[in-house]
Amino acid sequence: MKDLSAAKKKSGMEITRDRSVGKFFLSQQASVEKVLKRFNINNAKPVTVPFAAHFKLSVDMSPKTDEEMEHMSSIHDVSWERALAVVKWILRYLKGTIDVGLTFDRAKMSDSVVGYVDSDFAGDLDKRRSLIGYLFTLSEVLSIGRQHCKL
């Protein structure tokens, strides 16, 4: 059997290790750069907020049939413009957070579990339900996260 050494890349994630200090860093910088370049948005102004409050999307905005899809793609449609603005915002967010990753630091490892929760008031435009999200961290690293609708 041959020694393949430590992994440097897996599933689009770059892996950086420093065993002497016990640090392990995961990043997707190369993948994000590739996406930004593909859509020619690598010179856009970066943002650090994942989703702006002024964006309101609904299931009703999406086409239901192939004919509606053809119609939306062939003419100038307002809902199509809104969806495109959201996609551009997300790409700008990726650009603004391109150097962010997960760091696992042995020196900071502990058994501390911290939980966070947030919700909005009837943020689901289609069902008028509140969206609730929560996450838990173990040693300052995301362990469990979920988002769901409240009845």
The domain in which residue 26 lies consists of 9-108
What band does 95 get if pLDDT is binned at 50, 70 and 90?
A: very high
Whether 139 and 86 share a structural domain: no
Residue identified by tokens 């102004």 is 45
Whether 47 and 103 share a structural domain: yes
What band does 73 get if pLDDT is binned at 50, 70 and 90?
A: low
Strands laid side by side in the 131-138 sheet = 113-119, 131-138, 141-149
Is the pLDDT score of 84 beyond 90? no
- Whole-model pTM: value is 0.63
Average of per-residue pLDDT across 5-10: 73
Is the pLDDT score of 81 beyond 90? no
Whether 67 and 135 share a structural domain: no
Average of per-residue pLDDT across 61-88: 74
pLDDT score at 51: 76
Whether 44 and 76 share a structural domain: yes
Whether 80 and 122 share a structural domain: no
Whether 86 and 118 share a structural domain: no
pLDDT in tens, 27-66: 899 999 999 999 898 888 998 888 776 776 666 667 778 8
pLDDT score at 124: 67
Query: What span, in angstroms and rounded, lies between the C-alpha atoms of 20 and 85?
Result: 45
pLDDT score at 66: 83
Whether 30 and 71 share a structural domain: yes
Is the pLDDT score of 151 beyond 60? no
Look at residue 1 and tell me if it is in a domain.
no
pLDDT score at 147: 63
pLDDT in tens, 97-120: 998 888 877 777 777 788 888 877
CA distances from 130 to 45, 72, 138, 150 (A): 31, 30, 27, 5
